């Protein structure tokens, strides 16, 4: 239970955050326990986390602000281990280094700053920029479905089976129930986004068919003939003709390079011959 001083301090800080929001950060205490806060960090532009929705918790000690909170991030980010306590100078790993003048906004700015760096500590992870961008694009789905463990479906979508743990799920997941309890408006927005983007709630994958990469003109020509209605040797011969035509097209496109290469080779040969005659 919070001391009277801690309760007063946290109440004041919540009012300050609500009146003067900090960019990329929202946070609030739970209704039942002012020592338990939930936050959302929005990935800043120009980082691999751009647009990501990162949900986490701060659990303050009863004697706050004379001791720091335990800091966790639940949403997979490629930067922090899901739901593990983070070892930061502003966390409960280092109570002696905590400054009582620091506030909730200061703490969360510190988390965001550390997240966008590459410094390693207890609870952090190494990942490629591509992996982090992929995770960022799936954060809204992950938060509102518990990593795919939800039973909820979207009207008009066919249900797809998946691993019950889902993509990046924590243990078995809770179907997004805890996130919805703390962030009902965001949860509603996330489900609307999934419906509009045709994202399957159980898998997190888009139901929109992805275009297949095209092959080279030579291979396409051969495949059109061999895979067509003409059968036997004639199909292969015709396919070979189209490959040859495609090859001639390559020669025409690169004629200048061929001419210059030939001239260079001719000059080089003549120089060698002249040296031998001398």
CB neighbours of residue 5 within 10 Å: 13
Tell me which of 77 and 173 has the higher pLDDT.
77
> Please, which pLDDT band fits residue 214 given cuts at 50, 70 and 90?
low
Residues with catalytic annotation?
87
What are the tokens at 85? 């306590």
Q: What pLDDT digit, counting tens, does each position of 21-38 carry?
A: 999 999 999 999 999 999
Give phi and psi for 2, each to the nearest 5.
-70, 145
Residue 70's pLDDT is 98
Paired strand residues for 98:
none
Residue 231's pLDDT is 41
Give the whole-angstrom CA distance, residue 138 versus residue 196.
15
> In the chain, what are the domains?
4-197 (3.10.110.10), 217-277 (no CATH)
Paired strand residues for 55:
40
Q: Which residue has the tokens 């400054």?
A: 99
Residue 121's pLDDT is 96
Give the whole-angstrom CA distance, residue 28 versus residue 15.
9
Which of 6-10, 44-48, 71-75, 209-213 bottoms out in mean pLDDT, i.e. has the lowest? 209-213
pTM: 0.72
Give the whole-angstrom CA distance, residue 253 versus residue 98.
67
């Amino acid at each position: 239970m919070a001391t009277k001083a801690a309760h007063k301090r946290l109440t004041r800080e919540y009012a300050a955050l609500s009146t003067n929001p900090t960019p990329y950060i929202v946070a609030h205490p739970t209704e039942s326990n002012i020592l338990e806060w939930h936050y959302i960090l929005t990935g800043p532009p120009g980082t691999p986390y751009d647009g990501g929705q990162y949900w986490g918790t701060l659990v303050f000690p009863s004697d706050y602000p004379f001791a720091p909170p335990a800091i966790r991030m639940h949403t997979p980010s490629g930067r922090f281990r899901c739901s593990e306590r983070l070892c930061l100078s502003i966390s409960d790993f280092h109570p002696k280094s905590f400054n009582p003048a620091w506030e909730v906004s200061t703490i969360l700015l510190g988390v965001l700053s550390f997240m966008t760096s590459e410094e390693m500590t207890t609870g952090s992870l190494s990942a490629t920029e591509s992996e982090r961008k992929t995770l960022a694009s799936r954060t809204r789905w992950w938060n509102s479905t518990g990593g795919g463990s939800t039973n909820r479906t979207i009207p008009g979508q066919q249900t797809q089976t998946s691993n019950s743990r889902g993509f990046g799920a924590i243990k078995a997941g809770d179907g997004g129930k805890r996130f919805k309890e703390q962030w009902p408006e965001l949860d509603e927005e996330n489900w609307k986004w999934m419906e509009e983007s045709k994202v399957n709630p159980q898998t997190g994958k888009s139901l929109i068919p992805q275009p297949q990469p095209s092959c080279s003109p030579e291979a396409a020509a051969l495949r059109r003939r061999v895979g067509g209605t003409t059968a036997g040797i004639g199909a292969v011969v015709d396919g070979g003709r189209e490959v040859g035509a495609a090859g001639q097209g390559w020669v025409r496109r690169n004629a200048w390079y061929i001419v210059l290469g030939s001239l260079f080779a001719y000059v080089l040969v003549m120089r060698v011959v002249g040296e031998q005659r001398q």
